[in-house]
Structure 1
């Protein structure tokens, strides 16, 4: 079976095509033949060696967090009628206490073995690629949006707005009637963010972009900031928030979260919600969020955008594109 492995920690070049044993379904498991595999920025961080204290990942390993495809084999105790069903599923070792995967592994492969309980049936007529784009970005965008609800005409600033999660947050805010400022890097991404519904865009590769964002709001600042950039950019986004506002910082570009002066946040009455402050997920709650995201897609409220696809064997190019900030929307591997 074709797969891609990380042979050692390092740059994109350590991703290499490999032949691995074809998986077999054990009791309570199914084998899914993948149509497409999800690619997360987290995959690139783990491949580089980041996060060893939090994620039990050691080379050689097959990266990847989830696939869309169809069930081709079932194990003992699983209804044989599932064979042929189109599904989404996360991949990787399951924590028995939470039902969540402990690390994004196993998804860069033609076939994956997962527990039956991990399956999310695709709604009738749903595109496997578009549905896969909701598997991780959909739940995250919904949790971030739920953490800081917005009213009509509220100013919302979204950083990393051209990414898979950021573009969905732009759409969700617009659907709620907010006035959205999207922050991204470069004209191609800014044009993309406008297409997702942002009323204004700012280029955060330019000095003083946070002041530009504040000026757009009339000088008061955004009532809500959804920060998917993290690091220094996230710290700059904090400068664009209104007194009494709410910042949800969920991104970790380069491996660090936003640099926030928490004493200044208290002085200004700004509420700061970090990624770890969001509700703890179980496998079941995650699947409910995915189903909710798919329902919003079906209603036309959000449209996940697959910006680029790469053949499985070109996974290293996908990682290089993500790290080079050359992507818009969702990045997928296709089998």
Structure 2
């Protein structure tokens, strides 16, 4: 099969197209004929340094999320799954390929009304957005600041917070991204590339009740400074290269709660299924901003790292 290999940690050029043996599903596994592979920012960081939640050494086939149809089943798996459209995590590797063997118990059926590529776009980002929204307990009337509001998770948080009755303050970089955030329902938009973006938020909005911090670093710390007493901050990403790292005592002194999402397997599945159901019903729109052929995985990573992308970036296996 065709695949993309991570030969060593480094810049995007270390992602090299090549061949690999077709995986064989073990007992309890299925073989997915992959149509789309999901790319997350965490994967670009892993590729660069080996840091992150994945524990593996190159050479390997990266990729933690796939969508396609079930082409074969291992022992103990109901053959009724054959031919069904599904999405699944791979466990951290094996996704940038034409075929992937994954545990049958981790499959998600693609519901009616949801396209396969949209389901792949929601697999990681939809789950994350729903988890963060629930953890922060967003209520009607809250003023909610969403960082990286035109990204995969941020674009979904804008929609979910708006649907929950919040006033949404979207922060992103550049006119094109701000336009997308407003199109998705944001009430206020601010460019964090402006030196005084936080001051502009304070003057126009007057402080916020919730911060969804997917950037970290100086942006996350500036956003924390906008929180009102009783506010909640959920730091779930470090696209800026470091966590915001707000000390607990600093938050307590400001009467701000630093929240952490429930990451139990049961909650992860429930959040994923909720995102799928909302999208299938037309109430949540995954933004697929760019698609790359499988062999151009390096270009996809470079585009994400350059901050030139909107929404979700997918790899397609079709020639």
TM-score normalized with structure 2 length? 0.96
State the 1:198 CA deviation: 0.3
Match of 1:82 in 2: 81
Q: Secondary structure of the equivalent of 1:294?
A: helix
Q: 1:254 to 1:10 in 2, by over 3 A?
A: farther
- Match 2:216 to one of 206, 210, 230: 230
Which moves more between the two structures, 242-251 or 257-266?
257-266
Q: Secondary structure of the equivalent of 2:131?
A: helix
Match of 1:193 in 2: 181
State the 1:280 CA deviation: 2.7
Which moves more between the two structures, 161-170 or 149-158?
149-158
Question: Which runs of structure 2 are paired with 1:236-247 in the superposition (5 Å)?
Answer: 236-247=222-233
State the 1:244 CA deviation: 2.3
CA distance in 2, matches of 1:247, 1:254: 17
Match of 1:279 in 2: 262
Match of 1:95 in 2: none
Q: Secondary structure of the equivalent of 1:235?
A: helix
Is structure 2 residue 268 aligned with structure 1 residue 269? no
User: Does the 8 Å CA contact 1:161/1:228 hold for their aligned counterparts?
Assistant: no
CA distance in 2, matches of 1:119, 1:40: 19
Q: Deviations over 1:89-142 (max 9, x none)?
A: 1113xxxxxxxxxxx211101000011111111112420111111101111111
Is structure 2 residue 291 aligned with structure 1 residue 309? yes
Match of 1:260 in 2: 246
Match of 2:34 in 1: 34
CA distance in 2, matches of 1:109, 1:50: 20
User: Does the 8 Å CA contact 1:223/1:245 hold for their aligned counterparts?
Assistant: yes
Is structure 2 residue 138 aligned with structure 1 residue 166? no
CA distance in 2, matches of 1:202, 1:144: 21
CA distance in 2, matches of 1:169, 1:155: 13
Match of 1:288 in 2: 270
User: Does the 8 Å CA contact 1:214/1:241 hold for their aligned counterparts?
Assistant: no
CA distance in 2, matches of 1:286, 1:73: 26
Is structure 2 residue 115 aligned with structure 1 residue 127? yes
Match of 1:153 in 2: 141
Q: 1:321 to 1:260 in 2, by over 3 A?
A: same
CA distance in 2, matches of 1:280, 1:80: 31
State the 1:261 CA deviation: 4.6
CA distance in 1, matches of 2:209, 2:272: 27
- Match 2:203 to one of 208, 212, 215: 215
CA distance in 1, matches of 2:267, 2:143: 30
Q: Deviations over 1:190-244 (max 9, x none)?
A: 1111111101100001101011112222x3x101111111111111111121122
CA distance in 2, matches of 1:280, 1:110: 29
Q: Deviations over 1:167-208 (max 9, x none)?
A: 111001110111111000011111111111101100001101
Match of 1:60 in 2: 59
Over the residues paired in the alignment, what is the CA RMSD in angstroms? 1.4
Q: 1:88 to 1:212 in 2, by over 3 A?
A: same
User: Does the 8 Å CA contact 1:46/1:57 hold for their aligned counterparts?
Assistant: no
CA distance in 2, matches of 1:236, 1:286: 29
Matched residues, number:
317
Match of 1:20 in 2: 20
Q: Deviations over 1:31-68 (max 9, x none)?
A: 0001100001011111111427x531211111111111
| Structure 1 residue ranges, 4+ long, deviating more than 6 angstroms after superposition | none
Segments of structure 1 that go 5 or more residues without pairing to the other structure are 93-103
User: Does the 8 Å CA contact 1:91/1:105 hold for their aligned counterparts?
Assistant: yes
